[in-house]
Amino acid sequence: MYSRVLFGGQVSLLIALTVNICSLIIGTLVGVLGGYFGGWLDLGFFLGRVVLVEAVFSWNGLGKLALSAIGNVDTPLIMGTVLVAAALWCLPIFL
């Protein structure tokens, strides 16, 4: 019985390691492209990832709010969501 648990643990660790390596590669490429080209490319990648995660996990959050604000051209709401997202992004740096 214990050997089955160990075998399942190996598979889980292999999957976790693979996902982390893929995330590292994709995140590095997005960061390099965003840093090189800058501007709206940074915001586009950020919003795209947030909306993707919210869609996969069926969360209603800041990404869907920002996407609907962009669709409705609601400038104050766009500025507010970008401000909140930037604050949440920078907060761990200053702590």
How do residues 34-50 score in pLDDT, each as one tens digit? Answer: 777 765 556 566 666 66
Asked if residue 83 has pLDDT above 80, the reply is: yes
pLDDT band with cut points at 50, 70 and 90 for residue 31: confident
Who contacts 77 (Cβ-Cβ below 8 Å, separation ≥6)? 65, 66, 69
Please tell me the predicted confidence (pLDDT) of residue 69: 83
CB 62 within 8 A of CB 84: yes
CA atoms of 42 and 95, how far apart (whole Å) = 23
Both tokens of residue 46? 């950020």
User: Pick the residue with more confidence: 7 or 62?
Assistant: 7
Contact by Cβ (8 Å): 72, 65? no
Q: What is the pLDDT of residue 73?
A: 86
